[in-house]
Structure 1
């Protein structure tokens, strides 16, 4: 969501993020993602959490065929692109400033017959949620848990987009106590469980669903 670098960016060795493109192979397709760190910062590069989440989707734990899927804070759009290639009807979202860049990646990497199954839409968490009147089968988020100021709006957005049947998958690296604090917040309205961990990148994937108590309210 945020278009500013992480505080510890200098320590990460960010050379790969300054490359103009990154290439991946998912869903039997070669996906070439354009990057533009200088213009859009973290919204315009592919983070490890997105790659790990795409790899997890390819494991086939969830059958994406014809599911209504939404990706939050999509950035480059890699996760939403992969979900679409695997048969989902996907809404790929980010803030207005990132949309032109995001849509370019989406259209470049999706075959013509799949493009009608994909929408790119503006979504600033917590705002104008009435533009999203439906609920989704699956909500995806890669590395969207890091700015504490957005946590309340992110939680509000997740609740708005969910039905009792919706599955949320969040891929993230737990960097600070505040990241863990969001997971604690998430456990209010949702049941939360860690379902995958990639030790090579230190990325966790959490699954959340509306809790039984919330369903009864």
Structure 2
């Protein structure tokens, strides 16, 4: 395999000073940018290494191969989503749930290539391992926890928190997916999204809705 490139100002050189986790993130961001700009055909070890400014040996050491990069893109995407929704700390349970919905949208718009790997089968043939799929459910469980608090506070009528979380996730995902692909344009997208979130939540409100 090719040798380590000479020191310079490449993304890899910048990340190398901050340890293995930083090198992994830099490689995944490089791969995601290639995917977004050029499609899945650009996701070769050599192309990623060239863009990153490292040897292919480095990539094989970190990821094991192209399939490893695909799985790590999936995991990184869900890790970012999980961190985003868990970063909402509103004391009011409904406000926290609303904030989590807003965090979902903001994260998707900021990480479009990761979102495509997570939900749009952007890498043909990729299937996450059982372990990776289990890890991908963490954001959903965080959402269900917020729903459970809404039920406990009397905001939502008693129901299965996971069922409500899945409905809210589906509504959010549908709106965000349409926005990302440009359907009907981005004008008033945020307002439409917030209207949808309020309508979906209202269905489960105590004393009304469904």
TM-score normalised to structure 1 length = 0.29
* Structure whose residues are more often helix by fraction: 2
* Structure whose residues are more often strand by fraction: 1
